[in-house]
Structure 1
């Protein structure tokens, strides 16, 4: 079973005024372990770094239930949504809420809410969107099996 890791990398980039500027960027990586996540983020981001040294400054496990990445081609932002699934306890008759974190790719907050609602409406579960926020994630790297 693969897990999602949020990886933060730091490197120097050419600034507008002809100097160098240190930048930090966050990415989401599909991996089996912290070690594999570090290896994969270095492989994916190294070609984008033209000068200086790439440094992985932080890796943390992200508990993400589902990703909705099929947004419009112009979608370039990632939003983190907390969704509560509502079930009724048959014995006591009370509501039980189970929360899940999801990532939605979209071009704006309103369209992220629309996309998330459309995806969740196709399921049979009752839900409520508790929160949805913009993230600093620049890209998502899903695992792709090597061609044989």
Structure 2
């Protein structure tokens, strides 16, 4: 059974670096069976992140066929994949579109990640469009079974990993700090 993803928009007040407060409305993706479950799950997930009051302003079914997190990526991209099939009765080629949500750092990487996801596809396909998605985070369903725990941990580890450029910058900062400590000693 394939997952049904619901896009939930959450409105809340956020304090910025200067101490000012700003009202934000951000979309999140939740794997759920119904609108009611999606609302319950997004309330539960957001309560862990937002200490102040928040409001769910919209819930709708998202049209993503699959969600693919990738290591060292920080943004989500919507990839349109056109599957090509030959209709033997009419003798015409038919296209059917599906949308993938792929994690990447830029459009080029999203394209490469989409190709990686599609590499075992038997039929012909094309990727006519990739655009950055406003989705802030993705919350897959977890039933509590043993096999799923490992899958959920792997999914969360992939989506939470930092981009390599940030890790490289952190390593450079640490190396500079070590060098300064060595010089002072």
In 2, Cα distance between equivalents of 1:57 and 1:22: 13
Partner of 2:112: 114
Could you tell me which runs of 5 or more consecutive residues in structure 1 were left unpaired when the two chains were aligned.
none
| Alignment: residue pair count | 145
TM-score by length of 2: 0.74
Q: CA deviation at 1:147?
A: 5.2
Q: CA deviation at 1:50?
A: 2.4
TM-score by length of 1: 0.91
> Deviations along 1:128-148, whole A, 9 cap, x unmatched?
112111011111100011358
Choose between structure 1 and 2: higher helix proportion.
2
Larger radius of gyration: 2
Partner of 2:31: 30
Give the alignment partner of residue 105 of structure 1, picking from 87, 95, 103: 103
Q: Which structure carries more relative contact order (alpha carbon 8 Å, separation 6+)?
A: 1
Q: CA RMSD in A?
A: 1.5
Q: Please identify runs of 4+ aligned residues in structure 1 that moved more than 6 A.
A: none
Counting only pairs closer than 5 Å after superposition, residues 16-95 of structure 1 correspond to structure 2 as 16-51=17-52, 53-69=53-69, 71-72=70-71, 74-95=72-93
Could you tell me which runs of 5 or more consecutive residues in structure 2 were left unpaired when the two chains were aligned.
147-185
